[in-house]
Structure 1
């Protein structure tokens, strides 16, 4: 069975990287050049590059270009990944439900996390992510309005906040704080868990350049999720 065109293009790009034809830090051809080379649509090329970026094979720098990433250990604990891409990598089906998507006023906690003034406008989204129809993550995210002005207009059923923010404000730094918690009652209802189910909470902040982009609370039922990481000494 023939793979979809975007996956064929991903494989061809990976072959260039794995054979060393495109070494680390190599600036790959532009989207327009790849469109001409592969005879594919811009949308197809864009999807292939976006997924390779999410999988940490490429690094995209807005206004500069796309580069082959350094080879590093990749895991959810030590890197910022898309939950949708992690699920698809397991050959499972990702879906999501939008619970909340509004513009709000930042309180002191949100202002501190986003490095803005208290009372400034922020975008707030709450999304439940499912793996094969089982809820595995509640994403409660606040976004810097200046960094992603069209955030509220996005279809977060068709894409994810991670994918959109990666395009408009490419990630240059991230921070994870991990805690064991009990979810609040409304969070338990969204995740379909009992109130005494232990959960894993990841507090994630991301930056693009020197500007904070988003602050998220990612809640995972302990029985359905684990973190793993690889490190060297």
Structure 2
């Protein structure tokens, strides 16, 4: 004989059923603990536990003083692939928008110079763009290009199409290398990404190559709780 489910598990199943059948799509404010408890015949403590576990699993999102909402899926970035961030954000049901903070020639900083194999201080095309999903900051993208690569880069309107989309059209990347690290934001970064300075961010450093020559270097900074990195690759037989 199968033991009955704990009451909090029944509540979780009730919430998940409404999400799966489309009754509560992403962004929906669901009934409060005080309202759902009597409707299901369980205590507020039981509802609270169910909501807490679903929030921990990324299914629900609690906003203090406002309510509990069905969480939107996070944009996903590949470990061994490159995607257009606008498409990734849209694939998670959010509207992509961006703010171009800088689009000009700029002297190469040391990190970008080392990645591109060029002298520090050399002027190169540079962009700095804040990407958003449904208005919330998702990624701060800084990109430097080897001169002559990505024709017309500095004349583009990157609020209409991303830097990635332009470089796919005009460039010819044959390889990619990237690393991921973590940092705590300084005051400027915390303001741009709308997060407290105690909240960690992940940093992707990415270099693309054409026939072995580095052509672009990007530094992509994301709040750690607003996106995920995932990938799948074939393995050689053991």
Write the deviation string for residues 174-196 of structure 1: whole angstroms up to 9, x where unpaired.
Answer: 11100011122211111101111
Which residues of structure 1 form unaligned runs of 5+?
A: 1-73
Write the deviation string for residues 185-227 of structure 1: whole angstroms up to 9, x where unpaired.
Answer: 2111111011111111100111123332211111110111111
TM-score norm. by structure 1 comes to: 0.64
In structure 2, the CA distance between the partners of 1:232 and 1:110, relative to structure 1 (3 Å rule), is closer
Aligned partner of residue 94 in structure 2, secondary structure:
coil
Name the residue aligned to 1:195: 197
Aligned partner of residue 229 in structure 2, secondary structure:
coil
Matches within 5 A, 1:1-233: 76-233=78-235
Q: 2:97 and 2:209 mapped to 1: Cα distance?
A: 26
Give runs of ≥4 in structure 1 deviating > 4 Å.
none
In structure 2, the CA distance between the partners of 1:103 and 1:75, relative to structure 1 (3 Å rule), is closer
Aligned length: 160
**In the alignment, is the contact (CA less than 8 A) between 2:184 and 2:198 conserved in 1?**
yes
**In the alignment, is the contact (CA less than 8 A) between 2:141 and 2:218 conserved in 1?**
yes
Q: 2:100 and 2:132 mapped to 1: Cα distance?
A: 12
Q: 2:234 and 2:113 mapped to 1: Cα distance?
A: 35
Q: 1:119 and 1:148 mapped to 2: Cα distance?
A: 20
RMSD of aligned residue pairs (Cα, Å): 1.7
Q: 2:126 and 2:89 mapped to 1: Cα distance?
A: 24
Q: 1:131 and 1:120 mapped to 2: Cα distance?
A: 34
Q: 1:186 and 1:75 mapped to 2: Cα distance?
A: 24
**In the alignment, is the contact (CA less than 8 A) between 2:77 and 2:228 conserved in 1?**
no
Aligned partner of residue 90 in structure 2, secondary structure:
helix
**In the alignment, is the contact (CA less than 8 A) between 1:75 and 1:230 conserved in 2?**
no
Q: 2:181 and 2:130 mapped to 1: Cα distance?
A: 19
Instruction: Please state how far the C-alpha of 1:75 moved relative to its aligned partner.
Output: 5.8
Instruction: Please state how far the C-alpha of 1:118 moved relative to its aligned partner.
Output: 3.1
Instruction: Please state how far the C-alpha of 1:167 moved relative to its aligned partner.
Output: 1.1
